[in-house]
Structure 1
């Protein structure tokens, strides 16, 4: 097996487990967890927001540790943290214990991303790096899509599901140890990765990513609860929604292709409309089973597409530091999710689900006020790399 295939397959599996299982499956199994452990929608929002906050801290720590310790060590730790968090979730005797382990599981996502990017840069030939990174990033959608059928089979037995997910995570730790390069970068290389000064172009990206991340928590954190209230679906039924979200999310791999042809701003605003539409179709009172699944598919495609847009945007905002531009965009999405999840939970718990969905569908449109000024020619680098 070539190093490209070995690293790509390992990274795909690691991202699928950490993002699809450890981070986003909480929203799928939330109704069953609330029924078993008796906690409010407001607390659910705080817990989910806390997991996103753990991601924010972890991705910063991981980027530095990957430089010092090498990608192998940090990737193994990410898988072990995911496994430990999900084991704790499976065994949690109360809502408080569950909350703590959700935070641990959520931190694994931040730990996983930097070492995989580092491993690709070190060990994959340059012509194959973009394709390898695309394959690894698609792991999120695959993990989300796979958790749906698991929910269909397991029903309300969420503890068993997370125990199985934890076992997969521990297996990925062994795979990462065998597959990934271990050497750290030199001290000179570490200095090159210092955080750059923020410029107006980068603030545009931060504003857009922050608001989109906040809006996305309506389905990522409460999708299972929404279809439970709207359609009286159990966790088994909500699994269909997760299949729709994850399956359509694979289409987001076309983000780079679309931005080259339509431009960042057109692609960005088009899929913000899709994100808002997906939230509305799934969460408004008029929804039906078919509309809800269509809304989930629209949401999944839009979310992955928008994260791809922010990757391209980050590269344009920092053309000489593309890796740092990507990290800033993803970190800001998670900051928005940290704020958005408890806000949606509070609105749903203290006002109504209808109002919460309406507010967050509107919020999904607001990132469109931010724009990138980079102009792209087909197959070429940006002619104006700054975004403002």
Structure 2
């Protein structure tokens, strides 16, 4: 049991590194890196869009590699590549090279997260999987919180490269720990093709109609999940990527105040995934999804109509409650609707590809809107509209399957 808990903690730490450091540290350091390297906001949009392209390609690669190599090796390799890329950024003075490294970092986020379903299905009992996924999905917030502590210390002094050095070393240490623990737990050995539930804790609710093949991939709930992931990437990624630029360059917030908002986002996110995951076990995954999309819409509305005083901080809190949990709620829903780890990895792998496409297009469109109109207001207005659309799609999802320990028949819960 202690080993399983340690595995979940290390996976959370690796998500903190690949997402929190690999993707969102750049968003916090954009003003400082622009001042030092001399690129404009349109290039920021191009780099973040390239990052999402890397996420897209790597999600496809992870879905292909995981059955062949095993989730353990894919996750460990991603941690090593992430650490190396983080350490190379402060060595570079060329914006094209930095853009390429940021693309690689976004790719490692996908190659860590897609195999999570495989590894967690082997390491965590079915009835605890929702909580575990909730914690792992909050990993990004831990990385964001660490960023918010480092940026105000080094960025005002022009030492933004030091921040990359620190997080790079931390990531390498995490990767070493992952190797040691995974090897001891036997996670470098490939799992059987059909193993969504561990042998000790079988899932008695198996939907016989859910079989591998093209017919499954055309089921309405699968198509809806993929559409939702596209819109999640399209809206939530630009929300964070342009937050510092909006606050500091358009609204006039100081670097310390902006870092404080990021710190609150990270701090709230540390607990949001676990709390919303716990809540979803009681009110249902669909209801929990509606809650988080409502929060995204409210946060965007604040930045559109009244981004002054303490209201941007309130918007940050609302966004944190929504953003981090959704990346646990989606795989939890997929794992409950699928009847094997291989099936879940396939569906979730394509979902991450759609998320990458959405993020790529959303980041590029966000930069284009900001450049054309000289303001980020239109960006956050679009994000709010998309959040409403996500709520509508959630209502179209069927009720998720639930475990029925008292019998061998399936029950459906909301």
TM-score (norm 2): 0.82
Q: Distance in 1 between matches of 2:404 and 2:50?
A: 40
Which SS does the other structure have where 1:374 is aligned?
A: coil
Q: Distance in 2 between matches of 1:132 and 1:27?
A: 27
Deviation, 1:21, is 0.7
Aligned residues of 1:42 and 1:345 also touching (Cα < 8 A): yes
Change (3 A) 1:363 1:132: closer
Aligned residues of 1:75 and 1:173 also touching (Cα < 8 A): no
Change (3 A) 1:173 1:268: closer
Q: Which has the higher contact order (CA 8 A, sep 6+)?
A: 2
259-268 or 173-182, which moves further after superposition? 259-268
Q: Distance in 2 between matches of 1:188 and 1:377?
A: 18
Deviation, 1:295, is 0.7
Partner in structure 1 of residue 392 of structure 2: 369
Change (3 A) 1:10 1:258: closer
Aligned residues of 1:260 and 1:379 also touching (Cα < 8 A): no
Deviation, 1:275, is 0.3
Q: Distance in 2 between matches of 1:70 and 1:379?
A: 26
67-76 or 199-208, which moves further after superposition? 67-76
Aligned residues of 1:29 and 1:235 also touching (Cα < 8 A): no
Deviation, 1:378, is 9.2
Partner in structure 1 of residue 45 of structure 2: 45
Q: 1:358 aligns with which of 362, 381, 386?
A: 381
Q: 1:341 aligns with which of 338, 343, 363?
A: 363
19-28 or 74-83, which moves further after superposition? 74-83
How much is the aligned-residue C-alpha RMSD, in angstroms? 3.0
Partner in structure 2 of residue 276 of structure 1: 297
Q: How many residue pairs get matched?
A: 384
Deviation, 1:285, is 6.6
Change (3 A) 1:227 1:339: same
Q: 1:161 aligns with which of 160, 163, 172?
A: 163
Q: Distance in 2 between matches of 1:66 and 1:298?
A: 35
Change (3 A) 1:304 1:194: farther
Q: 2:225 aligns with which of 178, 199, 205?
A: 205
Which SS does the other structure have where 2:273 is aligned?
A: helix
Q: Distance in 1 between matches of 2:14 and 2:334?
A: 24
Unaligned regions of 5+ residues in structure 1, if any? none
Deviation, 1:277, is 1.7
Deviation, 1:54, is 1.1
Partner in structure 2 of residue 225 of structure 1: 245
314-323 or 196-205, which moves further after superposition? 314-323
Deviation, 1:67, is 2.7
Aligned residues of 1:152 and 1:237 also touching (Cα < 8 A): no
Q: 1:237 aligns with which of 235, 257, 263?
A: 257
Q: Distance in 2 between matches of 1:62 and 1:369?
A: 30
Aligned residues of 1:83 and 1:169 also touching (Cα < 8 A): yes
Deviation, 1:44, is 0.7
Q: Distance in 2 between matches of 1:86 and 1:235?
A: 22
Matched, 1:6 2:28: no
Deviation, 1:384, is 5.1
Change (3 A) 1:358 1:307: same
TM-score (norm 1): 0.87
Aligned residues of 1:307 and 1:330 also touching (Cα < 8 A): no
Partner in structure 2 of residue 288 of structure 1: 308
Change (3 A) 1:366 1:134: closer
Which SS does the other structure have where 2:264 is aligned?
A: helix
1:129-148 alignment runs, 5 A limit: 129-148=129-148
Aligned residues of 2:333 and 2:400 also touching (Cα < 8 A): no
Aligned residues of 2:299 and 2:314 also touching (Cα < 8 A): yes
Deviation, 1:326, is 3.8
Q: Distance in 2 between matches of 1:378 and 1:116?
A: 20
Deviation, 1:356, is 2.5
Q: Distance in 2 between matches of 1:380 and 1:361?
A: 38
